[in-house]
Amino acid sequence: MRLDKYLADGGAGSRSQVKEYIKKGKVSVNGIIVKNADASVGDDDVVECMGKRYSAGKFRYYMLNKPVDVVSATTDNRDRTVIDILKECDVNVKDLFPVGRLDKDTEGLLLITDDGQLSHELLSPKKHVDKTYEVGLRDLFTTEMERKLTEGVDIGEKRPTMPAKVQIINDKKILLTIREGKFHQVKRMLMAVGNEVIYLKRLKMGPLSLDDSLGQGEFRELSDCEINALKTIHEGK
């Protein structure tokens, strides 16, 4: 694809704006300034305009370790958003959005992409994508609570929750795997069994695991292997 089209499609500006950027030496391909708008670029090239990386015709996928106090939205009048985190690191955030939501006080794995179809599939109730959370509890976790969670509990919806998987870490900490994604679901499930969530972190979503080298607020692009794993859900496998 021509360089100017590649950049315009990728959101760097209009075709005439990007031609100007190219002429002024603001565009590099694989680290080398290129001043020809008709230079040919492809999927494997790293194209940057004024320090930001662009990619045309290819979806982008980022894994964020969401910190607390940041909201899972694209824009917000009051709070910093997960998209602001990427923008502050000079990522071109055009069309990016978080796949589903984590509460403001929840941390951990959040997928950010511009692939609407994949997002739809991951969030679809029909696909039953497992989500695993590390859950810190106010009170001791009992075998009775475990039994109820694994059978399904009434959180005030039409039906009880689907059976969850529970792994006990200690008296006040569990790993909980659920298949639905109702509003405040984990907090409501623990409330329904007489306990209370005081700490919540998502560790897994389908085949994707939070990279434990990512500190709070850090992100990275997904590997090809991770993207392919997500696409197996997408294809209904």
Q: Which residues of the shown chain bind ligand URA in the complex (CB under 6 A)? A: 102-103, 106, 184-187, 200
Residue 44 class from Cβ within 10 Å (0-12 exposed, 13-18 middle, 19+ buried)? Answer: exposed
Question: What's 8's DSSP letter?
Answer: H
The closest alpha carbon to 49, from 74, 24, 27, 21, belongs to 27
- 102/129 with CB nearer ligand URA: 102
SS3 (DSSP) at 107: strand
Q: Which two tokens stand for residue 99?
A: 């796949």
Q: Which two tokens stand for residue 12?
A: 């760097």
Q: Closest approach of Cβ 103 to ligand URA, in Å?
A: 4
Question: What's 95's DSSP letter?
Answer: T
Q: Closest approach of Cβ 198 to ligand URA, in Å?
A: 12
- 3/200 with CB nearer ligand URA: 200
- Is 103 a known active-site residue? yes
The closest alpha carbon to 83, from 229, 217, 233, 203, belongs to 217
Q: Closest approach of Cβ 234 to ligand URA, in Å?
A: 22
Query: Which residue out of 103, 114, 139, 212 is catalytically annotated?
Result: 103
Q: Which two tokens stand for residue 150?
A: 């694994």
- 7/189 with CB nearer ligand URA: 189
- 10/98 with CB nearer ligand URA: 98
Q: Closest approach of Cβ 102 to ligand URA, in Å?
A: 4
By annotation, the residues acting in catalysis are: 103
